[in-house]
A = this chain, B = another copy of it.
Amino acid sequence: MTQPLLLRNIRPMGGEATDLLIRGGVIAEAGRGLDAPDAVVEEGGGALALPGLVEAHTHLDKTLWGMGWRPHQAGPALMDKIETERRLKKEWNIDPARQSARQVVQSLRHGTTHIRSHVDVDDAVGLAGMEGVLATRQAYAGSMDIQTIAFPQSGLLIRPGVAALLEDAMRMGADGVGGLDPCLIDRDPKGHLDVVFGLAEKFGKPVDIHLHEPGQVGAFSMELIAERTRVLGMQGKVTISHAFCLGDPDLAMVDGLLDLLAANNIAVMTTGPASRPAPPVAKLRARGITVCAGSDGIRDTWNPYGNGDMLQRAMLIGLRNNFRRDDEVEMALDACTWGGAAVMGARGYGLAPGCIADIVLVSAESLAEAVVSQPPRALVVKRGKVVVRDGEVSVRAP
C-alpha cells in the first residue's frame, strides 16, 4: 500500500486554496489545514490542481518518438499514408512495445494519466501491435491507465482476414472495437459497420470509429452509426473520432447530425485540426454531447507534429474553435479531462473526496492560463503516488 500523501495549499480547478489528503490512492479528505502525521507532505505553494489529463485518442503502437528525426515520406491522400506506413513499419522496425512505452512516459511527463489508444490490426502486422501495447499497459500499470481499441487501420473488408484478426484482438482483451471511414476506405459502409458493431455486441465492448469522411458522405456514415447505436442499445458506448463532417458549412445538415448524436449519446473526439473542418465544440457541448480530445498520432509516419501535452492540445482546440473567454477555453480543457474520462468510462475521476487520486499541479492563476501557457508539470500524482516532479518522470522508457 502506498504511503498516505498530503497535498498542501493547492487550488483544485483554480479555486480556493485547500489541502487534499490521499489514502490508499484515493482522495480521503479535502479542506484547509489538514493534518496527518502518517502522510508524506507535498507543499503545493498555491499551485493549480487538475485531475489527470486524458489522452482519448492516440496511436501508441506506431509513434516514432525517440527514433531520431525521420522526414515525412507519405503522399497527400489517406491511402498514401496507409501504404507508406505499412512499408515503413517493417523497414524502420517500429516496435510497438518499445514505442508505446516511450510515448507513455512522454505523456506522463505532461500529466496524462489516462490513454485510449487505437492499435493497428491488419494483414501486415497481425496482432503484433496489440501484443506490444498490452505489454506496455502491464509494464506501466502503476503509472498509466491504458485502453486499447482494435483498429483496422488498413481497411477491414478490403483486406482479407482483417475481420477475423479484429475478433482475435477482442479475445486478447481489446477494450473496444475500432472502425475507419466505412464509405471512403472500405467502400461498403453496411458491411463495415456490421462487422464493427457485430463484434461490439458479441464482446460487450464500446465502439470508437475514425470518421474522416467530409460533408455529405461523412453525414451518411454518421447516420448509419447512429442507427446501429440506437437499435443495439449502445447509447453512451459509441465515440466518433475526428468527425470532420460536423465542421461542414452546411449548418442545416450539421444540426441534423447533432440531433442524432445527442439522441443516441454518441461522443465526439477532436484534435482541433487546424487544416480540416472540425466539430464545433461549443455547439456540441450546448447540445449535451460529450466531447473528448486526443493528440492522434504523435511524431509518426502520418505527421511530424505532437508532444503528448494535453494542455497544448486544449490550446489547439481553443485556437481552432476561436475560444477566447475563460469559460470557452475551459471547455477545451474539459475535453482533455472530464470529457475523455467519460468516454473511457474512468471510474472515480475527479478531485473530490472519494475520487481516485490522479492529480496534476501546475503554476497558473487560472484554468485558462494553464491552457494558454502550458506550464511544466510541477507534480503528477497517479493513484496517490508521485510519478512526476518538476517535469522529471519516475519511470523510464526503453
Chain A residues engaging chain B, CB cutoff 8 angstroms = 68-69, 71-74, 272-276, 299, 302-307, 315-316, 318-322, 324-326, 329, 364-366, 368-369, 372-373
Contact A69 B368 (CB under 8 A): yes
Select from chain B the residue with minimum beta-carbon distance to A73: B325
Cβ distance A279 to chain B, nearest Cβ, rounded Å = 13
- Can you list 15 A-B contacts with CB-CB less than 8 angstroms, sorted by A residue number? A69-B365, A69-B368, A71-B325, A72-B325, A73-B325, A273-B319, A274-B274, A275-B321, A275-B322, A276-B322, A304-B324, A304-B329, A305-B315, A305-B318, A305-B319
C-alpha spacing A302/B325, complex, angstroms: 10
Query: B71, B272, B322, B369: which contacts A326 (Cβ < 8 A)?
Result: B71
Contact B320 A372 (CB under 8 A): no
Query: B71, B307, B364: which contacts A373 (Cβ < 8 A)?
Result: B307
Query: Which secondary structure characterizes the binding site on chain A?
Result: loop
Select from chain B the residue with minimum beta-carbon distance to A320: B274
Inter-chain pairs besides A272-B274, A304-B369, 17 sampled, C-beta below 8 Å? A68-B365, A69-B364, A69-B368, A69-B369, A71-B326, A72-B326, A74-B324, A275-B321, A275-B322, A276-B322, A299-B372, A302-B324, A303-B324, A304-B324, A304-B372, A305-B318, A305-B319
Query: B319, B369, B372: which contacts A316 (Cβ < 8 A)?
Result: B319
Taking A71-B326, A324-B303, A325-B71 as contacts, is the C-beta distance between A319 and B368 under 8 angstroms? no
Cβ distance A64 to chain B, nearest Cβ, rounded Å = 11
The 10 A-B pairs at the shortest CB distance, nearest first, are namely A275-B322, A69-B365, A274-B274, A274-B319, A274-B320, A71-B326, A72-B324, A69-B369, A72-B325, A69-B366
C-alpha spacing A357/B316, complex, angstroms: 34
Chain B residues within 8 Å of A73, by CB: 325
C-alpha spacing A168/B321, complex, angstroms: 39
C-alpha spacing A5/B360, complex, angstroms: 43
Select from chain B the residue with minimum beta-carbon distance to A69: B365
C-alpha spacing A264/B322, complex, angstroms: 33
Cβ distance A301 to chain B, nearest Cβ, rounded Å = 10
C-alpha spacing A273/B329, complex, angstroms: 16
Cβ distance A73 to chain B, nearest Cβ, rounded Å = 8
Select from chain B the residue with minimum beta-carbon distance to A298: B372
Find the residue from A303, A305, A326, A368 having the highest chain B CB count within 10 A. Answer: A305
Contact A275 B365 (CB under 8 A): no
Select from chain B the residue with minimum beta-carbon distance to A272: B274
C-alpha spacing A329/B72, complex, angstroms: 10
Taking A274-B274, A304-B329, A372-B304 as contacts, is the C-beta distance between A366 and B324 under 8 angstroms? no
Chain B residues within 8 Å of A274, by CB: 272, 274, 316, 319-320
Select from chain B the residue with minimum beta-carbon distance to A325: B72
Cβ distance A297 to chain B, nearest Cβ, rounded Å = 11
Cβ distance A175 to chain B, nearest Cβ, rounded Å = 30
Cβ distance A8 to chain B, nearest Cβ, rounded Å = 23
Chain B residues within 8 Å of A74, by CB: 324
Taking A304-B324, A305-B318 as contacts, is the C-beta distance between A368 and B275 under 8 angstroms? no
Cβ distance A345 to chain B, nearest Cβ, rounded Å = 30
Chain B residues within 8 Å of A69, by CB: 364-366, 368-369
C-alpha spacing A373/B306, complex, angstroms: 8
C-alpha spacing A69/B372, complex, angstroms: 11
C-alpha spacing A306/B374, complex, angstroms: 11
